Chains A and B, each alone.
Chain A
Amino acid sequence: MKILVAVKRVIDYNVQIRVKEDGTGVVTDNVKMSTNPPDDNAIEEAVKIKESGKATEVVAVSVGEEKAQETLRKALAVGADRGILVKADGIIEPLAVSKILQKVVEKEKPDLVFMGKQAIDDDCNQTGQMLAALLSWPQATFASKIEVKDKSLEVTREIDEGLETIEVNVPAIVTCDLRLNEPRYASLPNIMKAKKKPIEQITASDLGVDTKPRIEQIKVEEPPKRKAGIKVASVEELVQKLKNEAKVI
């Protein structure tokens, strides 16, 4: 079995986001970038399945600018076998990413495609489901447990009411929740080894995919600020404030 894992390079989750003054987006220059957190879970799960003997190859793919190579190198350092970078500049909407991934899937013919359930930059939560639709494959979204069976997966999904278990036929798309596993850290020897693993580079136009945005971003602004609060000295004061000032109890 072959697993394709899609990873995205995003602003690191610990960075305090700053909105550009001209309203065109957020500041990305000289800002620490990392792998989208649930994509780390996707790679980890694929590597674990390979280690269990149920998969033979893990291929990492990323769509984005040249520097997304770093994200692929990290995936290679934790156990992916090779990488594919599909170069595309600017805002690439999930619909375009899923069309690109569809082409990659047609070429690579994986049995499973894993990715994080949501990217923490645009917070869209679309790509996996869109790719599943374009391929006419089943989708198991928000996965917190994956059991590989003969020709199917049994997947536990995180839903509003609790947990849901579904079975999906292989080939399938799985989008991963942060709770799926604990991603490993890359060891120094593995980081060195990853430098020798191959990364194929292609462009979105090589694949014949039009990445022109369909959504016009009119402006990006800071959310309204909360007014500064106060510190209370005691529980008694807190309760009095809630009752008499905020009037919420």
Chain B
Amino acid sequence: MSVLLIAEHNNKELKPFTLNAITAASQIKEDVHVLVLGSNSDSVAKSISEVSNVKKVIHVNNSLYENYLAENYTSAVIKLAESYSHIICSANTFGKNLMPRIAALLDVSQVSDIIKVISEDTFLRPIYAGNAFATVKSTDKIKCVTIRPTSFDPAPTSGGSAEIMNGDPGDSSELSKFIKKEEIKSDRPELGTARVVVSGGRGMQSGENFKLITAVADKLNAAIGASRAAVDAGYITNDHQVGQTGKVVVPDLYIAVGISGAIQHLAGMKESKVIVAINKDGEAPIFSVADYGLEADLFEALPKFLEELNKLNTIQK
């Protein structure tokens, strides 16, 4: 039996985390089928068919799926589920919303947010905000698994030539209705996949002061992150939040500015390859995970940092 992966997309393009989920799925079993539930979504089905490791694409093209509602998606997945050994999607807000609804109807105990595939039924997952790792084995016949996207490399977008089959839509649910999405557009790299992330915390003191972060991020071609405290204080929008209940990031370089390092924040960034902390409080917990700590007033350090970066001419894009 094969693995069924549920694609996340916007009817035009595949969302990048689907590629990470495909890698995880292919580590479970070679035969990976991808389900695309969409409306006028031919281009998405086609691009997935070209992704390495994808063996089959099931495309359900129906106006029901113009917007993503878990209630509508679930019924279509359930119709296919019995012929699969695993159902997979990414553990971002898309998959977190959807998978438990599917699992409950299949009477399956879901395995959430895995960071490693140990075998077909055994997985590694963080618990307690990443302060412990649990090795767990699913005993259910069908396994419903969500994967932490940043723990798996994205599958190459070329090299595959999967057949595309048309699938049947599920039942239409009248229970919920999409109203609007306020998507924040940015020319920057996406927070979840950026090579460099520069984050600000409560120490920034205002939204206006985030321009210091922006200037450094521009220079480093970095995404901008924030602690929950900074988001709650209204300095920056929620899509920037890094942490246990925000986004988990694993960049090559994470620069935490004016962030004390609450457990919840560390959960979202401590797997980064190199961590820099700039904070005037030398006792701040962020220093315990930082490779390079600079005890300094950020309002002096950040402009200086930018100046020093400008002196280098080898910034990698």
The listed residue (A132, A215, A221) touching B133 by CB distance below 8 A is: A221
| B188 part of interface (Cβ distance < 8 Å) | no
**In chain B, what residue has the closest Cβ to A130?**
B104
Per-residue contact bits, chain A 105-142, to B (CB 8 Å; 1 contact, 0 not): 00000000000011011111111111111101111111
Within 8 A of B (CB), among A140-154: 140-142, 144, 154
Tell me which residues across on chain B come within 8 A of A222, comparing CB atoms. 132-133
Is the pair B135, A140 in contact by a Cβ cutoff of 8 Å? no
B264 touches A26 (CB 8 A): no
B287 pairs with A126, CB closer than 8 A: no
Kindly provide the distance from the CB of B29 to the nearest chain A CB, expressed in whole angstroms.
19
Contact assessment for A94 and B110 in the assembled complex, using a CB-CB cutoff below 8 Å: yes
Q: Which one of A1-9, A69-77, A159-167 is at the interface?
A: A159-167
Least distance between A101 CB and chain B CB atoms (Å) = 11
Any A CB within 8 A of the CB of B208: no
List A213-249 residues whose CB lies under 8 Å from chain B. 213-223, 226, 229-232, 234-236, 238-239, 241-243, 246, 248-249
Which of B129, B182, B282, B293 is A120 in contact with, Cβ under 8 Å?
Answer: B129
Residue tally, chain B, CB below 8 Å to A: 93
Interface hits, B99-141 → A, CB 8 Å? 99-105, 107-113, 122, 126-140
Q: Distance in Å from the Cβ of A49 to the closest Cβ of chain B? A: 19
Residue contact B71 to A138, C-beta cutoff 8 Å: yes
A121 touches B137 (CB 8 A): no
Q: Does B14 contact A (CB under 8 A)?
A: no
Residues in chain A near residue B301, CB distance under 8 A: 235
From B108, B112, B127, B132, contact of A214 by CB (8 A): B108
A134–B104 contact, CB under 8 A?
yes
Q: Are A248 and B253 in contact (CB under 8 A)?
A: yes
Report A-chain residues with C-beta under 8 Å of the C-beta of B45. Answer: none
**Bound CA–CA A238/B278 (angstroms):** 10
Q: Chain B 190-220 against A: per-residue CB contact (8 Å), 1 yes, 0 no?
A: 0010001000000000000000000000001
Contact string against A for B residues 84-99, beta-carbon threshold 8 Å, 1 for contact and 0 otherwise: 0000000111101111
Give the residues in chain A near B98, CB-CB below 8 Å: 129
Distance in Å from the Cβ of A151 to the closest Cβ of chain B? 12
B238 touching A144, Cβ below 8 Å: yes
A226, closest chain B residue (CB) = B289
Set of chain A residues within 8 Å of B104, measured between Cβ atoms: 95, 98, 129-131, 133-134
> Complex formed: what's the CA distance from A178 to B71 in Å?
24
Q: How far is the CB of A246 from the nearest CB of chain B, in Å?
A: 5
Q: Which of B207-245 contact A (CB under 8 A)?
A: 220, 228, 231-232, 237-239, 244-245
- Subset of 26 A-B contacts with CB under 8 Å: A96-B109, A129-B98, A138-B71, A141-B96, A154-B179, A158-B93, A158-B238, A159-B181, A160-B92, A160-B94, A160-B239, A162-B183, A166-B176, A179-B232, A214-B138, A216-B139, A217-B134, A218-B135, A219-B135, A222-B133, A229-B275, A232-B293, A235-B301, A238-B292, A249-B253, A249-B314
Top 6 nearest A-B pairs (CB, nearest first) are A129-B100, A138-B175, A214-B109, A130-B104, A17-B131, A133-B104
Q: Taking beta carbons and an 8 Å cutoff, which residues of A are in contact with B? A: 11, 13-14, 16-17, 19, 26, 38, 93-96, 98, 117-118, 120-134, 136-142, 144, 154, 157-169, 172, 177-179, 213-223, 226, 229-232, 234-236, 238-239, 241-243, 246, 248-249
